[in-house]
Amino acid sequence: MYIPFARKYRPKFFREVVGQEVPVRILKNAVRSGKVAHAYIFAGPRGVGKTTVARILAKSLNCLNPKEGEPCGECENCLEIDKGNFPDLIEMDAASNRGIDDVRAIREAVSYTPIKGKFKVYIIDEAHMLTKEAFNALLKTLEEPPPRTVFILCTTEYEKIIPTILSRCQRIIFSRVKEEDVKSYLKKICSEEGLECEEEALSTIARASEGCMRDAASLLDQASVFGEGKVTQRVMESFLGILSVDKVRDFMKLLLESRVDEAVKELRSLYEKGYNLSKFWETLEGEIRNAILVKSLEDARGVVEDPDGYKPFEEYPLEALLYLENLVNRGKVEARTRPAIDAYELALIKTLIVKEILPISKALASAPVEPRREESLEEKIRTNLSSLALKAIEKANRREENGKVVFEMDEDDYEAFKGEFEKLKRHVPEVVFELRKKKDQRKDTTSLF
């Protein structure tokens, strides 16, 4: 009988689980140290190992010879759990089995201790779908947790689980599996299956599955059947209707070089061959965004997968990439209200302008630095005087004469800040002071310079 890869290669031990280091570490430690919680919530996207890890946990809790938190995989209990007929492992699918049955099952949990194993383990899949009654029954049970019973609530929609339940469970977060991890998992399957595979094809599958291991495994499965035992990029492309990243990057270059004719033809041909255009567009947008990140960040590792792959875009100015991103994004939005091919074509045509951005930004890059603007007289005065002296000078009468600026002020005022004013005169030779004599002498005096 043919067993699909996704099932055939379901990990049986913690050590085989790909990419979920944190959940695995927490759970293994809990088992090893005997500090297992009464209830867990396994939250995360679909197909990343929640049910798988829940079963491994059930196994390691009931294994007769566990080692370092791992189940042995050979004892009676381990074997029964693997086969799916262990009486103390109860799996419920809240999505398909809503209602009275799960309520009853949960209620029973309170009354029965494990039949055969050390722990009774309930795995509730899609827990966010539980009915209200089931939730309430669960809540009651969690308030007074029965001994040697572990609940594992798996969910892809964490936010739909009510807070009263959340607060009674230990939360374990599962994440999307990184592309390179997905890829090495696929490689392993290929070698076990004796499948010939192209590196590029595996990358395409890994990318298409968006971190979902189940999808990755079943895509590989289908691709190998489709390609009669060979997993090639060509097969992947016609099968998935998506281009490899390399080709998307080539396309990006066409746009950055305003080679619009070629770009439009390429798009048309993808369309005619039945490729998934919106997927293509999405990849294009993602690639442009990554190129932008790599170009702008000092170190893009950890933010962008395989930053080195974007080296070829280093030579294009950031402005051009940003402009392109904007066009592609608008193309995507417009594709919602008109045929996608039209929206995309239009966006491609607009990239004609990219060519013009290149010289502009080159010119900007090589333009001489703007010369430092001359400080204005006001600025010079301001920088040379204290605020009090400044007040005095602002009070003075001011006029311009033969290219000089004359401040007419009372002698007293001048005297008060003499030091500063003299300094100002030294630094700013066009400033001149004209002093008015003290009031009692004013009548018989004229100005003095």
Ligand X SMILES: Nc1ncnc2c1ncn2[C@@H]1O[C@H](COP(=O)(O)OP(=O)(O)OP(=O)(O)O)[C@@H](O)[C@H]1O
Q: Does residue 211 belong to the site contacting ligand X (CB under 6 A)?
A: no
The stretch among 120-128, 201-209, 240-248, 352-360 that binds Mg ion (CB under 5 A) is: 120-128
- Measured from the CB atom, is 125 or 345 closer to ligand X? 125
Q: Which of 20, 51, 60, 141 binds Mg ion (CB under 5 A)?
A: 51
Q: How far is the CB of 95 from ligand X (least distance, A)?
A: 9
Count of residues touching Mg ion (by CB under 5 A): 3
Q: Does residue 18 belong to the site contacting ligand X (CB under 6 A)?
A: yes
Q: Which of 97, 156, 209, 283 binds ligand X (CB under 6 A)?
A: 156
Q: Does residue 176 belong to the site contacting ligand X (CB under 6 A)?
A: no
- Measured from the CB atom, is 213 or 300 closer to ligand X? 213
Phi, psi of 99 (to 5 degrees): 110, -145
Site string for ligand X, 270-289 (x = CB under 6 A): --------------------
Q: How far is the CB of 71 from Zn ion (least distance, A)?
A: 5
Q: Which of 14, 19, 287, 290 binds ligand X (CB under 6 A)?
A: 19
Count of residues touching Zn ion (by CB under 5 A): 5
Phi, psi of 25 (to 5 degrees): -65, -45
Q: Does residue 413 belong to the site contacting ligand X (CB under 6 A)?
A: no
Partner whose footprint covers residue 114, from Mg ion, ligand X, Zn ion, none (CB < 5 to 8 Å by kind) = none
Q: Which of 13, 26, 45, 72 binds Zn ion (CB under 5 A)?
A: 72
- Measured from the CB atom, is 217 or 385 closer to ligand X? 217
- Measured from the CB atom, is 12 or 259 closer to Mg ion? 12
Site string for ligand X, 39-78 (x = CB under 6 A): -------xxxxxxx--------------------------
Q: Does residue 79 belong to the site contacting Zn ion (CB under 5 A)?
A: no
Q: How far is the CB of 152 from ligand X (least distance, A)?
A: 10
What residues contact 127, with CB distance under 8 A and at least 6 apart?
41, 94, 153, 154, 155, 161
Q: How far is the CB of 266 from ligand X (least distance, A)?
A: 35
- Measured from the CB atom, is 13 or 271 closer to Zn ion? 13
Q: How far is the CB of 77 from Zn ion (least distance, A)?
A: 6
**Cα–Cα distance list, 434 to 162, 407, 446 (Å):** 83, 6, 10
Q: Does residue 20 belong to the site contacting ligand X (CB under 6 A)?
A: yes
Partner whose footprint covers residue 63, from Mg ion, ligand X, Zn ion, none (CB < 5 to 8 Å by kind) = Zn ion
Q: Does residue 63 belong to the site contacting Zn ion (CB under 5 A)?
A: yes
Per-residue three-class SS string for the chain: CCCCHHHHCCCCCHHHCCCCHHHHHHHHHHHHHCCCCCEEEEECCCCCCHHHHHHHHHHHHHCCCCECCECCCCCHHHHHHHHCCCCCEEEEECCCCCCHHHHHHHHHHHHCCCCCCCCEEEEEECHHHCCHHHHHHHHHHHHCCCCCEEEEEEECCHHHCCHHHHCCCEEEECCCCCHHHHHHHHHHHHHHHCCEECHHHHHHHHHHCCCCHHHHHHHHHHHHHHCCCEECHHHHHHHHCCCCHHHHHHHHHHHHCCCHHHHHHHHHHHHHCCCCHHHHHHHHHHHHHHHHHHHHCCCCECCECCHHHHHHHCCCCHHHHHHHHHHHHHHHHHCCCCCHHHHHHHHHHHHHHHHHHHHHHHHHHHCCCCCCCCCCHHHHHHHHCCHHHHHHHHHCEEEEECCEEEEEEEHHHHHHCHHHHHHHHHHCCCEEEEEECCHHHHHHCCCEC
Q: Does residue 75 belong to the site contacting Zn ion (CB under 5 A)?
A: yes
Rule CB under 5 A: which residues touch Zn ion? 63, 71-72, 75, 78
Rule CB under 5 A: which residues touch Mg ion? 50-51, 125
Rule CB under 6 A: which residues touch ligand X? 6-7, 9-11, 17-20, 46-52, 125, 154, 156, 177, 185, 213-214, 217
